[in-house]
Amino acid sequence: MKRNWSIIILVLILLSLGLLSSLVSLWMNWLWFQESGYPILFSKSLVTKIVLAIFFGLLFFLVVYSNVRLARRLARGQARSYVDNILEFPHIEGLERTVHRFLLGALLLLAYIIGSWAAGQWDVYLRYQNAVSFGVTDPLFSHDIGFYFFTLPFYNFLYLFGFLLLLFSFLASLLIYGIEGGVWLTRRGLQLARPARWHLSTIVALFLFLLSFYYQLEIYDLLFSERGIVYGASFTDINAQLPVLRLLIIISAFSGILVALSAFLRRYTLALSALGLLLVVALVGNQVYPEIIQRFEVAPNEISKEAPFIDLGIKYTRMAYGIKDVQEEEFPAVEDLSQEALKKNELTLQNIRLWDHRPLLRTYGQLQVIRTYYDFEDVDNDRYLIDGKLRQVSLSPRELSSERLPSRIWINEHLTYTHGYGLCMGPVNQFTKEGLPTFVIKDIPPRSSTHIKVTRPQIYYGEISNSYCFVKTAAKEFDYPAGDQNVYTVYTGRGGIPVHNFFRKLLFSFRFKEPKIFLSSDIRPDSRLMFDRSISTRLQKLLPFIRYDKDPYMVISEEGHLFWIIDGYTLSDRFPYSQPTPDLGNYIRNSVKATIDAYNGTVFFYISDPGDPLIQVYSRIFPGVFKPMDQMPPHLRRHLRYPEDLFTIQANIYATYHMTDSQVFYNKEDLWRIPTLGQAGGDTPLEPYYTIMKLNTKAAREEFILMIPFTPARRENMIAWMAARCDEPNYGKLIVYDFPKQRLVYGPTQIVSRINQEAEISKQLTLWSTGGSTVIRGSLLVIPVEESILYIQPLYLAAAQKESLPELKRVIVAFGNSIAMEETLELALTRIFGGVALPSESQVPPELTQKKESQSINTLVQKANDYYQRAQSAVKQGDWSRYGEEVKRLGEVLKELQEKAK
C-alpha cells in the first residue's frame, strides 16, 4: 500500500513539474512577444486555440458520453444472454461500473486529444472567419478562389471532426450494449433489441448523411486532380468522376433515410440494398469506370479531349505563380559588339561579379575573422552608391559563434561574449595583385574607405543560432579585441526582456534549467535577457504561417546602423488547376518584407504585395502587425532585392508554362530548362545571380536585376534569359528576352566545353592542378551587353589544404567564337576586342596595366587572323552571309591597326 502511494505521489510531482514547466514557457513566450512589440500575435492565437480546444473537446465529450448514457439507459431490462449467443461477457460483479469508469476516463483522454487537434486548426478557423475574395472564379463550379483557400479547409476540418464524433459514439454505444444487453452475436448473425436498433441505426444514418457531405467535398477536390496532362480536373474527372460523385451524394443521403426508417419498420432489405448499391457505385463507379473512360476514350484521343483543360492549367498556373504578366521581348544576340559599345556600358563591366560567394566566404574567413570566436555565415550581394556611382558589392556580417569560444564557461557564453561586430564589404569585381579581394569596409573596429560608415557595429541578432545572453550586467561585456587588450561595452538598446525582480530571475533560471541565472550576482534588476536571437527563429516564432527566404541579407542604413532584410512568402496548395511544386504548394506570393535591427532585435513587417488575398486575410486577423510598404524608411527601400528563392521557382515554372498553346504544350515542342553546370559541366542547376546592367539599348540607365538563362530541354544552346527588376518604380517586374531560333547562341554548358577544349587554358589548368593546388572554377555568368552576350568565368587557385586561401588568378571571357583567359577582366576584354576602357581602375593591379598596352597590337593581329580564318571557313561551307560579316570585322581590325601604327 505504501509503495502504491509512493508511486502516486511521484506521478503527481512529475505532472506538477510538467504543468509548471508549461506555464513558465507560456509566460516566457508572453514576455517575449511583448518585448517584440507584437503581443496580439501571441494573445489572439492563444485565445483562439483555447476556445477551439474547449469547444470541440467539450462537444466531443458531451456527445459521445451522452450516447454512452443513452445506451446504458436503453440497455436496462435487456437480457445479457441470448439463444445461440456466440460471444457473451462473463457475469462479474461490478463489471458495468468498471467499464463505465474506463469509458469515462478514455473519453476524457480522447476529448483532450480531439481538443488539442482542434486547437492546431486555429489558423484554418481564423482564415475562414476573415476570408476575402480573390476576384477570380474557378472554371468548373464558378466559386471564388477564396472559397478553396479559406472555406473548404474549414469544411474538411468539420467533416473529420464529425466522422470522429460519430465513430466513437457508435463504438462506445456498441460496447455498452454488448456488455449490458441489447446487442448479441449469435449463430444467426447480429441480433439487436429494439432500443439498441433505434439508437445505432440513427448513428449509422447520420454517418451516411455525413458521407454525402464528404462526396460533395470530393467534388471540389476534382479541381486538384492529378489524372490529366495538367494538374486539375481533366476530361475523365468531369465526364466520368463528377457524375459518379453526384450519384454517390444522392445514394448516401437516400441510404441514410432508409437505414433510419428500417430501424422502426424492422425490415432491412431496402436499407441493405441501398448500402450495397452505395458500395458498388463507390468501388466500380468511382474507381473502375473513370479508368475505363481514361484508357479507352481519352488516351486514343488525348489532345482533342484534354486541350481545353490544358488551356486552363496554363492560365491558372501562370496566375498562381505570378508569371501571367511577364513581359516578353526579342533579343537579337548578334556578335557585333564593339569597343564603343563596351565603353557605353562601362558601368555594367564595372559591376560584373568576379567573386563567387563560396570562395569569397573562405577568403573572408581567412583574412577578416580576426578572432576564432567570430564567423562569417554568408556573403550577400547588394548595391550602394560609392563615389557617385552605383556599385554592386559583396557584404558579409562578422557574427559571434559561441561554439568557437576558447573557454565555454557559463559566464563567457551568456554574460561576456554576447554579440558579433561589424562586417566586410567590397566591390564584386576588385582584387589586389595577390588575387585577394579589396575592401570598402574591413577590420575591427570597422574602417571604411568611402562615405559609407558603420557607427553601430554590434550584432546581437543574426543568422547564427547562439544561445540566450544577459546584457547590462555587472560583468564586463566584451565589445571587440584591440591588440592584446579587449574593449568592453554596456548595452544601451531596447532589446531583451527586463529582469526587474527576484521572481523573474527565478523563473528565467527554471525556464533555461540553469541555477547560475538565479545565483549570479552579476544579473541585476536593470539587466535584460535576450533569447531566440536567430533571425530565422525570431521571424518563424512571430509569424509561423509565413515561409521565409533562405537568404536574409544585411543593409547599412544612412546612420550607419545594421539591419537585416528578409523576404516572406504566403503559400497555399489550394489554387485550382495550378501545377504544384514539391514542398511548396501551387500558389506563392512575396507578400512580406521583414526588417530586423541587428542591435535591438526590433522587427517590422511590410506588405510588399497588397494584392495578395492571403496577406489581406492575415492583416484582418492581426490588425496593426503589417505596415504598408511606403512606411519603410527610404534608406532601406533602396536596398530591396527581388528574392532569389521566388525567382528560381518562377523560372522553373516559366520554363514549361511559357508555352501558351495547348498543342505546343502537349507535345512539349518548346520546353525549356535552367542550364545545369558544375565544376566541369556537371548536373548542378545554374543559380540566379544579381548584376547591374541596362536591360536594352533604349534604357536610360543601368539597374540592379536578378537574372537566369534558359536552354531548350534537350539541347545545350541558349534560348532566352529572364530578369527580375529590383529598383523602383519597376520593382518586381519580370522580363524574358527570347533569342532568335534560327541563330545559334552558345549555352553555358557549351561555353564550358569550349573553355575545356582551349589548348592554352587546358594546359594552364593542368599545370596548376599537378602543382599541388586546387583550381576552383567560379560561376559562369551570362552578361547581356547591348544586343550581344558576354560569358565571364573567374578562376581561383587554392592550396590543397582544407583551410586554404582562394585567390582570384584568372578571368575567362568568351564572345562568339573567341575565348580569352587573362589575369584581369580588362585584359581578357582587350584580347578579344582590342583597347577597352578599364572596368575599374582598382580592379587591375598596376603592374598589369603596362602588359595591356604591350598586348594591344598583338591582340589586334590575333583578331585579324581569327576573322580571316573564319571567313575562309565560311567560304568552304558556302555561307556567304557569314563570310561578309567576317570580312567586315577584319576590315575594322585592320583599320584600327593602321591607326595604332601612325
User: What are the tens digits of pLDDT across the range 670-702?
Assistant: 999 999 875 544 578 899 999 999 988 777 889
pLDDT band at 642 (very low <50, low <70, confident <90, very high): very high
pLDDT of residue 856: 59
pTM, to two decimals: 0.88
Residue 901 has pLDDT above 70, yes or no: no
Contacts 24+ apart (CB under 8 A), 290-296: 290/227, 290/236, 290/237, 290/240, 290/241, 290/244, 293/236, 293/239, 293/240, 294/227, 294/236, 294/240
pLDDT in tens, 222-243: 999 999 999 999 999 999 999 9
**Local structure of residue 407 (DSSP, 8 states):** S
Predicted pLDDT at 855: 45
Mean per-residue pLDDT for 493-497?
94
Report DSSP state, residue 129.
Answer: H
List, in sequence order, every residue forming a beta bridge with 572; answer none if it has no partner: 587
73-82, 397-406, 449-458: lowest mean pLDDT where?
Answer: 73-82
The answer to whether residue 849 scores a pLDDT higher than 50 is no
pLDDT of amino acid 116: 95
Residue 296 CA to chain centroid, in angstroms? 41
Grid look-up 498553346 returns: 661
For residue 848, the model assigns a pLDDT of 46
Mean pLDDT of 430-455: 92
Q: How far apart are CA 435 and CA 794, in angstroms?
A: 11
Q: How far is CA 170 from CA 167, 175, 186, 753, in A?
A: 5, 9, 20, 70
Whether the CA torsion 493, 499, 505, 507 is positive or negative: it is negative
Which helix (H) or strand (E) segment holds residue 522: the answer is none
CA-nearest of 120, 123, 108 to 60 is 108
Between CA 255 and CA 262, with CA 261 as vertex, the angle to 5 degrees is 85
860 or 242: which leads in pLDDT:
242
For 35-60, write each residue's pLDDT tens digit.
999 999 999 999 999 999 999 999 99
User: To the nearest whole percent, how much of the chain has pLDDT over 90?
Assistant: 66
| Four-CA torsion 35, 40, 42, 46, nearest 10 degrees | 150
Q: Residue 449 pLDDT > 50, yes or no?
A: yes
- Retrieve residue 18's grid coordinates: 510538467
DSSP string, 698-755: T-SS-EEEEEEEEEETT--S--EEEEEE-STTSTT-EEEEEPPTTS----HHHHHHHH
Query: How large is the average pLDDT for residues 4-15?
Result: 64
Element (H, E) at 141: none
pLDDT above 70: residue 17: no
Q: Quick one: pLDDT at residue 195?
A: 80
851-855 average pLDDT score: 45
What's the mean pLDDT in 752-780?
86
Half-sphere exposure of 455 (CA within 13 A, CB side): 7
Mean pLDDT of the chain, nearest integer: 88
Quote the pLDDT of residue 677. 77
| 318, 540, 609 from 568: Cα distances, Å | 20, 10, 11
Residue 82 has pLDDT above 60, yes or no: no
Most confident by average pLDDT, 92-106, 254-268, 294-308, 872-886: 294-308
| Inter-residue contact 115 to 53 (CB < 8 Å) | yes
Contacts of 131 (CB under 8 A, 6+ apart): 146, 149, 150, 151, 617
Segment 460-489, tens digit of pLDDT: 999 998 899 999 999 999 999 987 889 999
Residue 314 has what pLDDT? 96
Q: What is the pLDDT of residue 885?
A: 67
- Inform me whether the pLDDT recorded for 512 exceeds 50: yes
Q: Are the beta carbons of 575 and 418 closer than 8 angstroms?
A: no
Task: Find out whether 374 and 423 touch, Cβ atoms under 8 Å.
Answer: no
**571 has pLDDT over 90:** yes
The pLDDT assigned to 842 comes to 41
- What is the reported pLDDT for 902? 57
Q: What proportion of the chain, given as a percentage, has pLDDT over 70?
A: 88
Cell of 438: 579589396
One-letter identity of residue 29: N
Reported as a single tens digit per residue, the pLDDT across 130-142 is 999 999 999 999 9
pLDDT one-digit tens code per residue, 194-227:
788 888 889 999 999 999 999 999 999 999 999 9
Report the 10 Å Cβ neighbour count for 389. Answer: 14
Q: Compute the distance between CA of residue 232 and CA of residue 574 in angstroms, rounded to an integer.
A: 11
Specify the pLDDT at position 699. 78
Distance CA 354, CA 812 (A): 10
For residue 474, give every residue at least 6 positions away whose Cβ sits within 8 Å of its Cβ, in sequence order, or none. Answer: 521, 522, 523, 524
pLDDT value, residue 22: 83
Residue 681 has a pLDDT of 43
Q: How far apart are CA 618 and CA 568, in angstroms?
A: 13
The pLDDT assigned to 90 comes to 56
